[in-house]
Every structure is written in structure tokens, then in C-alpha cells.
Amino acid sequence: MLDRLRAGVGAIAVLGLLATGLASARAAGALAVGACAAYGYAYDYPSADTAQAAAIEKCGGSCKKVVTTNKGCVALAIDGHKPCGPNGFANAPKLGVAQNTALKYCHQYGGKDCVIRAWICDGKKS
């Protein structure tokens, strides 16, 4: 009976480690930023390069800037009244920090009514 219990606990521990490994293996994300509030995003990719390529593809060709993250968050802020005007983007370990920094950059570049347009978190960060 004790051997069965030990085997069951061991199996559960192995499954937990495998699940943790799978989560960390797919922990890259990207946010592509384009003209007039265009964006594309990707998360839970195995590498920053593959996440970046997927984000650019989702954007549809107008995205020239890309910000990546690995087990963190990325946010894009635009001027709500001038979507083709100022914007800001940032990455950070936590969503609130990424959003606040993106808003700060949007205002710094001339935005008057900056709002968060898009955000992603990767690797179960929020």
C-alpha cells in the first residue's frame, strides 16, 4: 500500500515538473507596432524570434517596430483623438508597469489623450 502511495506521489511530482517545463518553454511574446494604431501580437511562443515574426504577420505589413518580452508584459498606448499621431510602447515584468510606461512615452511624444490600445502578457505574468 505504501509503495502505491509513493508511486502515485512520484507520478504527480513528475507531471508537475513537466507542466512547469512546458509553460516556461513557451514564454516569449511580441507586440508589433505600426502606423495609425495598427498592431499585431503573439504570445506563448518558444522564442522571441518566432513571436516577433508572428506579431509582424498579424499586423499586416504596416508594423516596423517590435517590442518583445520573455515571461513579462508589453503594452501599446496611442493618442485616442489622433490614432495616427503619438504613441508609446514598453515591456516590463508586470502589466501595470508596462501600461504606465507606455502611457508615459505616449504623453512624452506629444499625446494629449493617451489610452492603452493593446497589451499582452506572456509566461503567466499579469
pLDDT band at 3 (very low <50, low <70, confident <90, very high): low
What mean pLDDT is reported for the chain? 83
pLDDT digits (tens, 9 = 90+) for 96-119: 999 999 999 999 999 999 999 999
pLDDT for residue 56 is more than 90? yes
pLDDT at 124: 57
pLDDT at 64: 87
pLDDT for residue 11 is more than 60? no
pLDDT at 60: 85
Phi and psi dihedrals of 57, rounded to 5? -65, -40
User: Exposed, middle or buried: residue 81 (CB in 10 Å: 0-12, 13-18, 19+)?
Assistant: exposed
pLDDT digits (tens, 9 = 90+) for 17-40: 333 343 446 789 999 999 999 999
pLDDT at 123: 77
Tell me the domain boundaries of the chain.
Answer: 26-121
Q: Give me the DSSP letters along 54-118.
A: HHHHHHTS-EEEEEEEESSEEEEEEETTEEEEEEEEEEESSHHHHHHHHHHHHHHTT-SSEEEEE
Task: State the Cα–Cα distance between residues 122 and 126, nearest whole angstrom.
Answer: 8
- Residue pair 41/32 in contact by the 8 Å Cβ criterion: yes
pTM of the predicted protein model: 0.75
